[in-house]
Amino acid sequence: MPQITPTSQVIIEAPSLRDFCTQLLVAAGVTAEDAAMVTDVLVEANLRGVDSHGVARLPHYLRRIRHGSIEPRPKITLERVSASTALLDGGHGLGHLVMNRAAHHAIAIARESGAGWVAVRNSSHCGALSHPGLLIANAGMIGMAFTHVDPMVLPHGAREPFCGTNPLCFTAPGENGQALCLDMATSVTPWNSIENAILEGVPIPLGWAVDAEGCDTVDPSCVRAIYPVGGYKGSGLGLLIDVFCSLLSDGPYGPDIPRMYGDLSQRRLLGGLVGAIDVSRFVPESRFRRRVSEMIARWGRLKPAEPGGRVLYPGEPEMLTRVERLRNGIPLGGALVEQFNQLAHEYQVPPLTTL
Protein backbone atom coordinates (compact mmCIF):
# COMPACT_ATOMS: atom_id res chain seq x y z
CA MET A 1 0.00 0.00 0.00
CA PRO A 2 1.67 3.26 -1.08
CA GLN A 3 2.73 5.50 1.82
CA ILE A 4 4.45 8.89 2.17
CA THR A 5 7.86 9.50 3.74
CA PRO A 6 8.07 12.52 6.10
CA THR A 7 11.15 14.73 5.71
CA SER A 8 11.58 14.72 9.50
CA GLN A 9 11.21 11.49 11.46
CA VAL A 10 11.39 10.42 15.11
CA ILE A 11 11.83 6.80 16.21
CA ILE A 12 9.50 5.39 18.87
CA GLU A 13 9.58 1.95 20.48
CA ALA A 14 6.30 0.05 20.09
CA PRO A 15 5.66 -0.44 23.86
CA SER A 16 6.10 3.30 24.52
CA LEU A 17 3.76 4.16 21.66
CA ARG A 18 1.15 1.68 22.94
CA ASP A 19 1.28 3.10 26.47
CA PHE A 20 1.01 6.68 25.25
CA CYS A 21 -1.93 6.10 22.89
CA THR A 22 -3.79 4.00 25.46
CA GLN A 23 -3.45 6.76 28.06
CA LEU A 24 -4.81 9.34 25.62
CA LEU A 25 -7.86 7.21 24.85
CA VAL A 26 -8.53 6.51 28.53
CA ALA A 27 -8.24 10.25 29.25
CA ALA A 28 -10.85 10.80 26.52
CA GLY A 29 -13.30 8.48 28.30
CA VAL A 30 -12.64 5.10 26.65
CA THR A 31 -12.45 2.13 29.03
CA ALA A 32 -8.95 0.80 29.71
CA GLU A 33 -9.79 -2.52 28.04
CA ASP A 34 -11.23 -0.94 24.90
CA ALA A 35 -8.42 1.63 24.73
CA ALA A 36 -5.79 -1.13 24.83
CA MET A 37 -7.58 -3.02 22.04
CA VAL A 38 -7.89 0.05 19.78
CA THR A 39 -4.27 0.99 20.44
CA ASP A 40 -3.14 -2.51 19.48
CA VAL A 41 -4.85 -2.12 16.09
CA LEU A 42 -3.26 1.29 15.50
CA VAL A 43 0.28 0.35 16.58
CA GLU A 44 0.12 -2.95 14.67
CA ALA A 45 -0.67 -0.96 11.51
CA ASN A 46 2.50 1.10 12.08
CA LEU A 47 4.55 -2.00 12.84
CA ARG A 48 3.35 -3.51 9.55
CA GLY A 49 4.32 -0.35 7.65
CA VAL A 50 0.72 0.78 7.04
CA ASP A 51 1.30 4.21 8.56
CA SER A 52 -1.77 5.67 6.84
CA HIS A 53 -3.96 3.62 9.22
CA GLY A 54 -1.79 3.78 12.34
CA VAL A 55 -1.45 6.19 15.24
CA ALA A 56 -1.51 9.24 12.94
CA ARG A 57 -5.30 8.90 12.94
CA LEU A 58 -5.59 9.06 16.74
CA PRO A 59 -5.80 12.88 16.96
CA HIS A 60 -8.76 12.75 14.57
CA TYR A 61 -10.55 10.12 16.68
CA LEU A 62 -10.00 12.20 19.81
CA ARG A 63 -11.48 15.25 18.08
CA ARG A 64 -14.54 13.26 17.08
CA ILE A 65 -14.98 11.93 20.63
CA ARG A 66 -14.80 15.51 21.89
CA HIS A 67 -17.38 16.64 19.32
CA GLY A 68 -19.73 13.76 20.18
CA SER A 69 -19.77 11.89 16.86
CA ILE A 70 -17.82 8.93 18.31
CA GLU A 71 -19.09 7.39 21.55
CA PRO A 72 -16.17 6.55 23.86
CA ARG A 73 -18.24 3.82 25.56
CA PRO A 74 -20.67 2.59 22.88
CA LYS A 75 -23.54 0.20 23.38
CA ILE A 76 -22.73 -2.48 20.76
CA THR A 77 -25.58 -4.91 20.07
CA LEU A 78 -25.88 -8.08 17.98
CA GLU A 79 -29.02 -9.40 16.33
CA ARG A 80 -28.77 -12.99 15.08
CA VAL A 81 -30.88 -13.09 11.93
CA SER A 82 -30.24 -16.68 10.78
CA ALA A 83 -28.05 -19.70 11.52
CA SER A 84 -25.13 -18.14 9.67
CA THR A 85 -25.78 -14.39 9.68
CA ALA A 86 -26.03 -11.54 12.16
CA LEU A 87 -26.38 -7.76 12.21
CA LEU A 88 -24.15 -5.78 14.56
CA ASP A 89 -24.95 -2.22 15.57
CA GLY A 90 -21.73 -0.44 16.53
CA GLY A 91 -23.43 2.22 18.63
CA HIS A 92 -21.27 4.88 16.92
CA GLY A 93 -18.18 3.62 18.71
CA LEU A 94 -14.58 3.47 17.53
CA GLY A 95 -14.61 1.36 14.39
CA HIS A 96 -11.63 -0.75 15.48
CA LEU A 97 -13.65 -1.97 18.47
CA VAL A 98 -16.77 -2.54 16.37
CA MET A 99 -15.02 -4.61 13.67
CA ASN A 100 -13.15 -6.58 16.35
CA ARG A 101 -16.49 -7.58 17.87
CA ALA A 102 -17.86 -8.43 14.43
CA ALA A 103 -14.89 -10.72 13.73
CA HIS A 104 -15.29 -12.57 17.04
CA HIS A 105 -19.00 -13.06 16.38
CA ALA A 106 -18.30 -14.27 12.81
CA ILE A 107 -15.88 -16.87 14.21
CA ALA A 108 -18.40 -18.05 16.81
CA ILE A 109 -21.17 -18.34 14.22
CA ALA A 110 -18.86 -20.20 11.80
CA ARG A 111 -18.02 -22.75 14.51
CA GLU A 112 -21.74 -23.46 14.82
CA SER A 113 -22.84 -23.40 11.20
CA GLY A 114 -19.68 -23.66 9.08
CA ALA A 115 -19.75 -20.03 7.95
CA GLY A 116 -20.50 -16.79 9.72
CA TRP A 117 -21.36 -13.42 8.21
CA VAL A 118 -21.82 -10.27 10.28
CA ALA A 119 -23.07 -7.07 8.68
CA VAL A 120 -22.13 -3.88 10.56
CA ARG A 121 -23.91 -0.56 10.86
CA ASN A 122 -23.47 2.65 12.88
CA SER A 123 -19.70 2.34 13.05
CA SER A 124 -16.85 4.78 12.39
CA HIS A 125 -13.41 4.60 10.75
CA CYS A 126 -11.97 1.20 11.67
CA GLY A 127 -8.32 1.42 10.59
CA ALA A 128 -6.59 -1.49 8.88
CA LEU A 129 -8.78 -4.46 7.94
CA SER A 130 -5.84 -6.81 8.51
CA HIS A 131 -6.81 -6.84 12.19
CA PRO A 132 -10.23 -8.55 11.86
CA GLY A 133 -8.92 -10.59 8.93
CA LEU A 134 -6.00 -12.03 10.88
CA LEU A 135 -8.17 -12.63 13.94
CA ILE A 136 -10.20 -15.00 11.79
CA ALA A 137 -7.13 -16.61 10.22
CA ASN A 138 -5.63 -17.19 13.68
CA ALA A 139 -8.83 -19.07 14.55
CA GLY A 140 -8.07 -21.48 11.69
CA MET A 141 -10.59 -20.02 9.27
CA ILE A 142 -10.68 -18.14 5.99
CA GLY A 143 -11.42 -14.50 6.75
CA MET A 144 -13.04 -11.74 4.74
CA ALA A 145 -13.61 -8.14 5.79
CA PHE A 146 -14.94 -5.11 3.95
CA THR A 147 -15.69 -1.52 4.89
CA HIS A 148 -16.46 1.74 3.12
CA VAL A 149 -15.99 5.48 3.54
CA ASP A 150 -17.23 8.75 2.09
CA PRO A 151 -16.70 9.61 -1.62
CA MET A 152 -13.00 10.03 -2.38
CA VAL A 153 -12.36 7.93 -5.51
CA LEU A 154 -12.99 8.69 -9.17
CA PRO A 155 -15.05 5.96 -10.86
CA HIS A 156 -13.42 4.83 -14.09
CA GLY A 157 -14.32 7.37 -16.77
CA ALA A 158 -15.78 9.93 -14.31
CA ARG A 159 -14.59 13.41 -13.31
CA GLU A 160 -16.06 13.42 -9.80
CA PRO A 161 -15.87 10.88 -6.93
CA PHE A 162 -18.65 8.49 -5.95
CA CYS A 163 -17.33 5.72 -3.66
CA GLY A 164 -14.68 5.83 -0.98
CA THR A 165 -11.36 4.00 -0.91
CA ASN A 166 -13.49 0.97 0.09
CA PRO A 167 -10.92 -1.61 1.24
CA LEU A 168 -11.10 -5.38 1.34
CA CYS A 169 -9.17 -8.03 3.24
CA PHE A 170 -8.86 -11.76 2.54
CA THR A 171 -6.92 -14.07 4.87
CA ALA A 172 -6.08 -17.77 5.06
CA PRO A 173 -4.16 -19.56 7.84
CA GLY A 174 -0.94 -21.47 7.29
CA GLU A 175 1.40 -23.27 9.66
CA ASN A 176 3.69 -21.84 12.37
CA GLY A 177 2.07 -18.43 12.45
CA GLN A 178 2.07 -17.95 8.68
CA ALA A 179 -1.01 -16.50 7.03
CA LEU A 180 -1.93 -15.12 3.65
CA CYS A 181 -3.27 -11.59 4.19
CA LEU A 182 -4.37 -9.37 1.31
CA ASP A 183 -5.44 -6.02 2.80
CA MET A 184 -5.88 -3.33 0.16
CA ALA A 185 -7.82 -0.24 -0.76
CA THR A 186 -9.62 -0.14 -4.09
CA SER A 187 -7.86 3.18 -4.76
CA VAL A 188 -4.20 3.63 -5.71
CA THR A 189 -3.50 4.89 -2.18
CA PRO A 190 -5.58 5.42 0.98
CA TRP A 191 -6.92 8.91 1.56
CA ASN A 192 -5.09 8.92 4.88
CA SER A 193 -1.78 8.89 2.99
CA ILE A 194 -2.91 12.24 1.56
CA GLU A 195 -3.71 13.47 5.08
CA ASN A 196 -0.28 12.34 6.32
CA ALA A 197 1.37 14.22 3.44
CA ILE A 198 -0.55 17.39 4.35
CA LEU A 199 0.47 17.07 8.01
CA GLU A 200 4.15 16.50 7.21
CA GLY A 201 4.31 19.04 4.39
CA VAL A 202 5.56 16.67 1.66
CA PRO A 203 4.35 16.18 -1.95
CA ILE A 204 2.61 13.06 -3.20
CA PRO A 205 3.65 11.07 -6.30
CA LEU A 206 2.17 12.07 -9.64
CA GLY A 207 -0.64 9.71 -10.62
CA TRP A 208 -2.20 9.32 -7.19
CA ALA A 209 -4.82 12.03 -7.27
CA VAL A 210 -6.47 14.99 -8.99
CA ASP A 211 -7.38 18.55 -7.98
CA ALA A 212 -10.74 20.33 -8.19
CA GLU A 213 -10.27 20.77 -11.96
CA GLY A 214 -9.67 17.05 -12.46
CA CYS A 215 -5.96 17.57 -13.21
CA ASP A 216 -3.19 15.44 -11.75
CA THR A 217 -1.55 17.06 -8.74
CA VAL A 218 1.41 16.42 -6.43
CA ASP A 219 0.16 18.95 -3.85
CA PRO A 220 -1.76 16.97 -1.19
CA SER A 221 -3.63 20.07 -0.02
CA CYS A 222 -5.17 20.40 -3.52
CA VAL A 223 -6.41 16.80 -3.76
CA ARG A 224 -10.14 16.38 -4.35
CA ALA A 225 -10.23 12.75 -5.51
CA ILE A 226 -7.98 9.69 -5.85
CA TYR A 227 -7.67 7.33 -8.81
CA PRO A 228 -9.03 3.78 -8.50
CA VAL A 229 -6.47 0.98 -8.51
CA GLY A 230 -6.39 -0.88 -11.83
CA GLY A 231 -8.79 1.49 -13.58
CA TYR A 232 -12.22 -0.07 -14.12
CA LYS A 233 -11.31 -3.08 -11.96
CA GLY A 234 -10.78 -1.12 -8.76
CA SER A 235 -13.68 1.13 -9.67
CA GLY A 236 -16.05 -1.84 -9.93
CA LEU A 237 -14.75 -3.45 -6.74
CA GLY A 238 -15.30 -0.22 -4.83
CA LEU A 239 -18.92 0.00 -5.94
CA LEU A 240 -19.68 -3.62 -5.01
CA ILE A 241 -18.07 -3.14 -1.59
CA ASP A 242 -20.50 -0.28 -1.03
CA VAL A 243 -23.28 -2.79 -1.73
CA PHE A 244 -21.84 -5.18 0.89
CA CYS A 245 -21.35 -2.47 3.50
CA SER A 246 -24.33 -0.18 2.86
CA LEU A 247 -27.25 -2.04 1.39
CA LEU A 248 -27.05 -5.15 3.62
CA SER A 249 -27.02 -3.03 6.77
CA ASP A 250 -29.45 -0.44 5.32
CA GLY A 251 -27.01 2.44 5.70
CA PRO A 252 -25.89 5.33 3.50
CA TYR A 253 -23.63 4.66 0.50
CA GLY A 254 -21.11 6.60 -1.56
CA PRO A 255 -22.07 10.28 -1.85
CA ASP A 256 -24.50 10.01 1.12
CA ILE A 257 -21.87 8.97 3.69
CA PRO A 258 -20.87 11.79 6.09
CA ARG A 259 -17.31 12.90 5.38
CA MET A 260 -14.48 11.75 7.62
CA TYR A 261 -12.83 15.18 7.64
CA GLY A 262 -16.04 17.18 7.43
CA ASP A 263 -18.37 18.11 10.29
CA LEU A 264 -16.76 16.43 13.31
CA SER A 265 -20.05 16.47 15.23
CA GLN A 266 -21.82 14.42 12.54
CA ARG A 267 -21.87 10.64 13.07
CA ARG A 268 -20.23 8.66 10.25
CA LEU A 269 -22.89 5.89 10.00
CA LEU A 270 -20.33 3.54 8.45
CA GLY A 271 -21.05 -0.09 7.63
CA GLY A 272 -18.99 -3.19 7.13
CA LEU A 273 -19.17 -6.90 6.42
CA VAL A 274 -17.07 -9.56 8.13
CA GLY A 275 -17.09 -13.23 7.12
CA ALA A 276 -15.49 -16.43 8.44
CA ILE A 277 -15.42 -19.84 6.76
CA ASP A 278 -14.60 -22.87 8.92
CA VAL A 279 -12.21 -24.79 6.66
CA SER A 280 -12.58 -27.93 8.80
CA ARG A 281 -16.06 -28.38 7.30
CA PHE A 282 -14.33 -29.02 3.96
CA VAL A 283 -10.93 -30.52 4.78
CA PRO A 284 -9.05 -31.14 8.04
CA GLU A 285 -7.71 -27.84 9.34
CA SER A 286 -4.17 -29.22 9.71
CA ARG A 287 -4.14 -30.30 6.05
CA PHE A 288 -5.46 -26.90 4.93
CA ARG A 289 -2.80 -25.04 6.94
CA ARG A 290 -0.05 -27.30 5.60
CA ARG A 291 -1.13 -26.77 2.00
CA VAL A 292 -1.28 -22.98 2.47
CA SER A 293 2.30 -23.05 3.76
CA GLU A 294 3.34 -25.28 0.86
CA MET A 295 1.73 -22.82 -1.56
CA ILE A 296 3.59 -19.93 0.10
CA ALA A 297 6.89 -21.83 -0.19
CA ARG A 298 6.38 -22.60 -3.88
CA TRP A 299 5.43 -18.97 -4.51
CA GLY A 300 8.63 -17.83 -2.82
CA ARG A 301 10.77 -20.13 -5.00
CA LEU A 302 9.64 -18.46 -8.22
CA LYS A 303 12.39 -16.85 -10.26
CA PRO A 304 12.38 -13.13 -9.36
CA ALA A 305 12.00 -10.47 -12.03
CA GLU A 306 14.98 -8.56 -10.63
CA PRO A 307 18.36 -10.21 -9.87
CA GLY A 308 18.70 -10.75 -6.14
CA GLY A 309 15.02 -10.02 -5.56
CA ARG A 310 12.37 -12.14 -3.87
CA VAL A 311 8.79 -12.97 -4.74
CA LEU A 312 6.79 -12.11 -1.62
CA TYR A 313 3.36 -13.54 -0.79
CA PRO A 314 0.43 -11.31 0.28
CA GLY A 315 1.13 -10.17 3.82
CA GLU A 316 4.86 -10.96 3.76
CA PRO A 317 6.08 -7.37 3.15
CA GLU A 318 4.12 -6.28 6.21
CA MET A 319 5.49 -9.11 8.34
CA LEU A 320 9.08 -8.28 7.30
CA THR A 321 8.48 -4.63 8.16
CA ARG A 322 7.02 -5.69 11.51
CA VAL A 323 10.15 -7.65 12.41
CA GLU A 324 12.36 -4.69 11.48
CA ARG A 325 10.28 -2.11 13.36
CA LEU A 326 10.01 -4.27 16.48
CA ARG A 327 13.79 -4.39 16.48
CA ASN A 328 14.60 -0.79 15.51
CA GLY A 329 11.50 1.19 16.44
CA ILE A 330 8.62 2.84 14.60
CA PRO A 331 9.31 6.01 12.56
CA LEU A 332 6.81 8.82 13.08
CA GLY A 333 6.74 12.16 11.29
CA GLY A 334 8.07 15.10 13.25
CA ALA A 335 4.82 17.08 12.83
CA LEU A 336 2.82 14.14 14.22
CA VAL A 337 5.08 13.92 17.27
CA GLU A 338 4.58 17.65 17.90
CA GLN A 339 0.82 17.08 17.66
CA PHE A 340 1.09 14.23 20.18
CA ASN A 341 3.04 16.43 22.58
CA GLN A 342 0.28 19.03 22.44
CA LEU A 343 -2.32 16.33 23.12
CA ALA A 344 -0.28 15.03 26.06
CA HIS A 345 -0.40 18.50 27.63
CA GLU A 346 -4.10 18.88 26.86
CA TYR A 347 -5.10 15.47 28.28
CA GLN A 348 -2.58 15.66 31.13
CA VAL A 349 -0.72 12.46 30.29
CA PRO A 350 3.07 11.94 30.22
CA PRO A 351 4.67 13.00 26.91
CA LEU A 352 5.68 10.48 24.28
CA THR A 353 9.07 8.89 24.91
CA THR A 354 11.29 8.93 21.81
CA LEU A 355 14.58 7.18 21.05
Active-site residue set: 125
- Amino acid type, 182: L
Q: Name the nearest CA neighbour of 225 among 254, 183, 252, 182.
A: 254
Q: What is the dihedral of CA 241, 62, 134, 90, to 10 degrees?
A: -60
Given a contact cutoff of 8 angstroms between Cβ atoms, the answer to whether 183 and 129 are in contact is: yes
Q: Euclidean distance between the first and final Cα of the chain, in Å?
A: 27
DSSP characters over 44-57: HHHHTT-GGGSGGG
CA distance 214 to 301: 43
CA distance 146 to 275: 9
Given a contact cutoff of 8 angstroms between Cβ atoms, the answer to whether 211 and 224 are in contact is: yes
CA distance 260 to 57: 11
- Amino acid type, 40: D
For residue 248, give Cα distances in angstroms to 121, 173, 236, 258, 270: 9, 27, 18, 18, 12
